[in-house]
């Protein structure tokens, strides 16, 4: 199954390509995000192609669904290499899978954009130097991105260690629980190539309970879409949506919320 209304663009000129990355090998608390890409595609069949909020329709957009990258049994080094190899031209849009997948995608995007800035919507800082002995995992991924020298903006953040928050205050361009953009920060990033990473747990668990490490007091769907919409017209070099774990939400609403978010991100950034 492919994502709602995706298609082969004539001559392979699709602006955006969806790629599933069904990987959750380092998940520490509750696994299941490897089933995220399939569940999001499945849920996409139940939503409309038209977004009243944006007054745009996916049917008017040439984007493709490239299926899943084969990541079965890979360690995190091989995972990163597989993602870098698979990164398509144009605008790659990865569906996780755990947050670790972002590292390979950011490194791939940075090959073409050395001044790449990363924007993270997430409940968690993900800035540990290591976690249970692992240097590359879902809890350290943003630390590795900082180590690579990438400027980082963190929105929706409400969980992490004291040391992670101290590091964020020193090294992130911005780290706040609010997902709204300070106007001066928007002016700073708008001219730069951006990589956007959305961890579904940035949303309140009431809206998206199907995720490995839910945190209370999260953003609303409307606030998240508004935050993304603030970047309309910006240069987006790549993006992802991660940490959807469908089995942890018997109501099934998390994959539907995620599919709606994928639609809005495509309509905002793949035109
Ligand atoms: Mn998170």
Looking at residues 109-115, what average pLDDT do you find?
Answer: 96
CA distance readout (Å), 40 to 3, 205, 212: 8, 17, 16
Percent of the chain with pLDDT over 90: 92
Q: How far is the CA of 190 from the centre of ligand 1 (A)?
A: 24
Strands 174-176 and 152-155: parallel
**Domain residues of the chain, as ranges?**
10-269
Looking at residues 221-226, what average pLDDT do you find?
Answer: 98
What's the pLDDT tens digit per position in 53-102? 999 999 999 899 999 999 999 999 999 999 999 999 899 999 999 999 99
Looking at residues 110-116, what average pLDDT do you find?
Answer: 96
Q: How far is the CA of 50 from the centre of ligand 1 (A)?
A: 29
pTM, 2 dp: 0.97
Q: Return residues with CB closer than 5 A to ligand 1 (ion).
A: 122-124, 199, 201
Predicted pLDDT of residue 8: 58
Q: How far is the CA of 12 from the centre of ligand 1 (A)?
A: 34
Predicted pLDDT of residue 112: 94
Q: How far is the CA of 31 from the centre of ligand 1 (A)?
A: 13
Q: Which CATH number fits domain 10-269: 1.10.287.610, 3.40.50.880, 3.40.800.10, 3.90.25.10?
A: 3.40.800.10
Looking at residues 163-173, what average pLDDT do you find?
Answer: 98
Percent of the chain with pLDDT over 70: 98
Predicted pLDDT of residue 49: 95
């Amino acid at each position: 199954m492919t994502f709602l209304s995706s298609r082969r663009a004539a001559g392979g000129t699709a602006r955006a390509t969806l790629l599933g990355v069904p990987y959750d090998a380092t998940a520490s608390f509750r696994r299941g995000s490897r089933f995220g890409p399939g569940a999001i595609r499945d849920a996409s069949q139940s939503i409309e192609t038209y977004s009243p909020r944006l007054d745009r329709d996916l049917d008017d957009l040439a984007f493709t669904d490239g299926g899943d990258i084969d990541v079965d049994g890979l360690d995190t080094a091989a995972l990163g290499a597989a993602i870098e190899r698979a990164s398509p031209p144009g605008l790659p849009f990865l569906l996780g899978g755990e947050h670790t997948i972002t590292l390979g995608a950011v490194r791939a995007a940075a090959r073409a954009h050395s001044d790449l800035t990363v924007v993270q919507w997430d409940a968690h800082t993900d800035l540990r130097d290591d976690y249970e002995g692992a240097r590359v995992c879902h809890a350290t991924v943003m630390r590795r991105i900082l180590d690579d020298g990438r400027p980082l903006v963190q929105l929706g953040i409400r969980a992490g260690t004291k040391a992670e928050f101290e590091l964020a205050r020193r090294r992130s361009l911005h780290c706040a629980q609010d997902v709204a953009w300070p106007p001066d920060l928007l002016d700073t990033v708008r001219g730069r190539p951006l990589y956007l990473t959305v961890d579904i747990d940035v949303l309140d668990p009431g809206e998206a309970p199907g995720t490995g490490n839910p945190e209370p007091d999260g953003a609303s769907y409307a606030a998240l879409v508004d935050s993304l919409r603030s970047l309309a017209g910006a240069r987006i070099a790549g993006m992802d949506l991660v940490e959807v774990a469908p089995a942890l939400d018997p109501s099934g609403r998390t994959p539907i919320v995620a599919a709606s978010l994928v639609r809005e991100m495509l309509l905002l950034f793949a035109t």
